[in-house]
Structure 1
């Protein structure tokens, strides 16, 4: 699910992208993103602030970094590569982080010729030696996402309203990509605040002219409909959200009937029929969770996350919860983690946020730069210290 987010701890290191829009405090949500209340975010990280490596990033590079991170998380390696290369080629001297990401992406793709060619350019620009090629195992994908694939967010459980900062970031990512897929088919409940959040999010996406594939709108409507009592002026947000679902479904006649009932019940003008531009699901769309999650073995010196981690609640995160339950410091070795899928990053944020509320320190060691970038987009860097490998 789903930069997805929050305010930087005051004691930690800062970079230029820390102040970008969408950053605010965390909240509770029981969707597959599994975000929970973080409490004092800076409590654990402040003690270790001096160990955080600060990488300067220009404002101009932030958009490319975030877009490439999301594309890579959604198994669109070629799209991520194109974004990074274009960003570097269009600037005389781009940020260190942008170069780190591209070199690591070349390694992950097994593209040594491009790695070495870009290394020559790097040496000329910075007058220092480029990184050395090491044989990173190319990441397995199944199947590769098309270049124009939409970022995917899958929601399940009970939707509450305390995840507004996270959903605001979804709007931001959607606006950047021009498209977004949201799957509501596994929702089991929507409270009043959750209905407000969902309705506001769809309105914001519409204003940003984002194409949305809203899967499971029928399921969401079935959860909202019992709350609609004609002649009883309560639960107004349920009505608005239900009307938004009918707009997404393209069902004008039921929409207009409900709009009349809304006007009668609340004695105000209802929303007008104005269906959004809908992104049609791809025939090959399988929900964005096709790679199998690889298990992370628990070692004496730390918890290892490796391979491809995908899905809202992969087994590796269950093992992480067990590992961290008996420790005050959670050390995660991510040096062999090839890819962290978008929704899995939300679930990882949730688990680390839970540890932090318990006063524990989270440290993620040496993720590749593509994964590290996604962790920043998803706000994981605000609930864990990320130690980069040497460049």
Structure 2
């Protein structure tokens, strides 16, 4: 009965689709009997043949990763590490006081450098003074032969840092004139306002203490009217004192001034006068005469007159310090200035025949800014050739100057511990 009851239901389902094709419903056909499938007879279990196993290639032995946490392990927990140390300062980063003092010392401004350091270790910000600031001051006392001041500061250093201060080494006192023939240099720029105004003050102070000073104008990007008037004042005052101010890269400033003036416009008179001064110092008489006429027409005043350049008497060249024959190292000693480039030329020759290149500066008291720049170029060439040099034994004053110039990018700079 169950089969008979289910048959009409199945027929009704099968008639539905045919109505879409226009066929008339007819007598229901008996549904074909469904074939019964015999249940599978359980037979004897067959043993499955295992698939052949392909041996895996041996894995490389994993090396443990290096532990980059240098903090000591926590007591009682083997292998555990304490939280990592705070980020350390870049050893080649230069403190602002250190940078200023290094440049002053290279230019022979020992007294001014000492004043800055003494203020740093005993002023309001004394607690922030690093050990290097103290070491620079100790080196300056050595250079000046101020043993009493050295001993006083040594006691203060011991109290401040809780360790023994450097010992007095009896260094020879250098000449009060500074670098023994070295010509100090002041780099002006990028303008005459802000920090540039302070550089003009430094140039004036150096011109009052030296017979010859260099001013590099290559980094100037602008020249305001007050700054032009100030530079003219400094140049004229140096001339009255008998100091020769050598202007390097004067063409850069000349171009800036030429673009800031226009004949017929009564503007920027100091720029006109400074441009005439630059033409005079560069020996450009034709441009001087043309500019002088335009200045006279524009401002209706008499222009400066052309002065024939005076022949400078030949300057005595200081003897190059002898380089001792020290096995395995090139020795620099004494005070090296722009007047003694042979020392640096000899370094290139020496480096070509020695590997590794080691430069011993233990006996070097001072190096001026120009020579330090020449040394930087030599070290850069050596590194480019795959032979980086190593500098050892430099005092804190020389070492600070080298770091200011970026020598550490091209050579290993071993710093003194005290």
Task: Name the TM tier (shorter chain).
Answer: 0.5 to 0.7
Question: Does the 8 Å contact 2:223/2:257 carry over to 1?
Answer: no
Q: Does 1:82 align with 2:138?
A: no
Question: Does the 8 Å contact 2:323/2:330 carry over to 1?
Answer: yes
Deviations 1:292-324 (A, max 9, x none): 542333532210000111116521111101011
Matches within 5 A, 1:371-382: 371-382=398-409
- Which whole-Å CA distance do the structure 1 matches of 2:191 and 2:331 have between them? 29
Normalised to the residue count of structure 2, the TM-score between the two structures is 0.53
Quick one: structure 1 residues 202 and 118, their matched pair in 2 at CA, closer, same or farther if it must change by over 3 Å? same
Which of 276, 290, 303 is residue 246 of structure 1 equivalent to?
276
Deviations 1:117-144 (A, max 9, x none): 0011111112222222222333x33734
Partner of residue 295, structure 1: 322
Query: What 5-or-longer segments of structure 2 have no aligned partner?
Result: 1-88, 204-212, 236-243, 261-270, 282-287, 299-311
Question: Does the 8 Å contact 1:363/1:385 carry over to 2?
Answer: yes
- Which whole-Å CA distance do the structure 1 matches of 2:109 and 2:156 have between them? 25
- Which whole-Å CA distance do the structure 2 matches of 1:363 and 1:55 have between them? 15
Quick one: structure 1 residues 173 and 123, their matched pair in 2 at CA, closer, same or farther if it must change by over 3 Å? farther
Quick one: structure 1 residues 53 and 174, their matched pair in 2 at CA, closer, same or farther if it must change by over 3 Å? same
Figure out how many residues of one structure are paired with residues of the other and give that number: 278
Partner of residue 178, structure 1: 201
Q: Per the alignment, in what secondary structure is the counterpart of residue 54 of structure 1?
A: coil
Q: Does 1:338 align with 2:365?
A: yes
Deviations 1:315-338 (A, max 9, x none): 111110101123453210001101
RMSD of aligned residue pairs (Cα, Å): 4.8
Quick one: structure 1 residues 88 and 342, their matched pair in 2 at CA, closer, same or farther if it must change by over 3 Å? same
Q: Does 1:143 align with 2:195?
A: no
- Which whole-Å CA distance do the structure 1 matches of 2:395 and 2:413 have between them? 11
Which of 313, 333, 336 is residue 306 of structure 1 equivalent to?
333
Normalised to the residue count of structure 1, the TM-score between the two structures is 0.56
Question: Does the 8 Å contact 2:191/2:223 carry over to 1?
Answer: no
Partner of residue 221, structure 2: 200
Which of 340, 344, 361 is residue 317 of structure 1 equivalent to?
344
User: In the TM superposition, what is the alpha-carbon distance from 1:53 to its structure 2 partner?
Assistant: 9.2
Deviates more, 1:75-84 or 1:243-252: 243-252
Question: Does the 8 Å contact 2:362/2:395 carry over to 1?
Answer: yes
Q: Per the alignment, in what secondary structure is the counterpart of residue 364 of structure 1?
A: strand
Which of 170, 177, 185 is residue 152 of structure 1 equivalent to?
185
Quick one: structure 1 residues 55 and 99, their matched pair in 2 at CA, closer, same or farther if it must change by over 3 Å? farther
Partner of residue 386, structure 2: 359
Deviations 1:216-269 (A, max 9, x none): 569967x999xxxxxxxxxx7795599764254699985365689xxxxxxxxx
Q: Looking at CA atoms only, which structure, 1 or 2, has the larger radius of gyration?
A: 2
Query: What 5-or-longer segments of structure 1 have no aligned partner?
Result: 1-51, 154-165, 185-194, 226-235, 261-269, 271-284
Structure showing the higher strand proportion among its residues: 1
Partner of residue 107, structure 1: 142
Question: Does the 8 Å contact 1:182/1:212 carry over to 2?
Answer: no
Quick one: structure 1 residues 215 and 108, their matched pair in 2 at CA, closer, same or farther if it must change by over 3 Å? closer
Question: Does the 8 Å contact 1:293/1:308 carry over to 2?
Answer: no
Quick one: structure 1 residues 389 and 287, their matched pair in 2 at CA, closer, same or farther if it must change by over 3 Å? farther
Partner of residue 390, structure 1: 417
Which of 147, 155, 159 is residue 120 of structure 1 equivalent to?
155
The higher relative CO (CA closer than 8 Å, separation ≥ 6) is in: 1
User: In the TM superposition, what is the alpha-carbon distance from 1:373 to its structure 2 partner?
Assistant: 1.4
Question: Does the 8 Å contact 1:152/1:287 carry over to 2?
Answer: no
Q: Does 1:70 align with 2:103?
A: yes
- Which whole-Å CA distance do the structure 1 matches of 2:225 and 2:196 have between them? 12
Which of 132, 135, 153 is residue 167 of structure 2 equivalent to?
132
User: In the TM superposition, what is the alpha-carbon distance from 1:382 to its structure 2 partner?
Assistant: 2.7
Which of 280, 288, 291 is residue 255 of structure 1 equivalent to?
291
